[in-house]
Amino acid sequence: MLGHLGLKSYAGLCVVRFLLGISEAPVSAACITYIGNWYTKDEQPFRFLCFASGQGGLYILFSLVAYGVAHAGGSLLHWKYIYLILAFVSLILGTMFYFMMPALPQNAKFLTPEERVIAAKRVAGNMTGIKTIQWQNYQVWHAIKDPKTYLLCLYMFFSMIPNGGLTNFNTLVLKSFNFDSYTTLLVNIPWSVFSAGQMWVWAATGLYFKNQRVAGLIIPMVIAIIGMAIVYGTENSEGVNKWGRVFAYWMINSCSAAFPFIMNLTGQLVSGHTKQSFTNAVVLISFAVGNIVGPFCFNASDAPRYSKGLATIMGTFAACIIIGCMLGGVIFYENKTRNKKHGDPSKDENLKLEGIINGLQDKTDLENPHFRFVY
Domain presence at residue 330: yes
Domain count, the chain: 1
Mean pLDDT in residue range 60-78: 71
Domain presence at residue 319: yes
Banded pLDDT at 321 (limits 50, 70, 90): very high
Taking only the tens place, the pLDDT of each residue in 288-303 is: 888 888 888 777 777 6
Banded pLDDT at 44 (limits 50, 70, 90): confident
Domain presence at residue 48: yes
Please state, as a whole number, how many other Cβ atoms lie within 10 Å of the Cβ of residue 234: 16
| Angstrom distance (rounded) from CA 297 to CA 168 | 11
Of 212, 214, 222, 192, which Cα lies nearest the Cα of 319? Answer: 222
Q: DSSP of 121-144, one letter per residue?
A: HHHHTT-S--------HHHHHHHH
Domain presence at residue 261: yes
Percentage of the chain lying above the pLDDT 90 cut: 10
Domain span at residue 65? 39-72+125-360
Domain presence at residue 28: no
Exposure class string for 42-62: b at 16+ Cβ within 10 A, else e: ebbbbbbbebbbeebbebbeb
State the chain's mean pLDDT as an integer.
Answer: 79
Counting beta carbons within 10 angstroms of the beta carbon of residue 358, is it exposed (0 to 12), middle (13 to 18) or buried (19 or more)?
A: buried
Domain holding 255: CATH number? 1.20.1250.20
Domain presence at residue 145: yes
Domain presence at residue 8: no
How high is the pLDDT of residue 255?
A: 84
The count of C-alpha atoms lying within 13 angstroms of the C-alpha of 314, restricted to the half-sphere facing its C-beta, is 16
Mean pLDDT in residue range 60-70: 73
| Angstrom distance (rounded) from CA 133 to CA 165 | 37
3-state secondary structure of 231: helix
Domain presence at residue 195: yes
How high is the pLDDT of residue 144?
A: 92
Of 275, 274, 37, which Cα lies nearest the Cα of 134? Answer: 274
Of 150-154, 233-237, 263-267, least confident by mean pLDDT is 233-237
CB 36 within 8 A of CB 126: yes
The count of C-alpha atoms lying within 13 angstroms of the C-alpha of 21, restricted to the half-sphere facing its C-beta, is 13
Banded pLDDT at 70 (limits 50, 70, 90): low
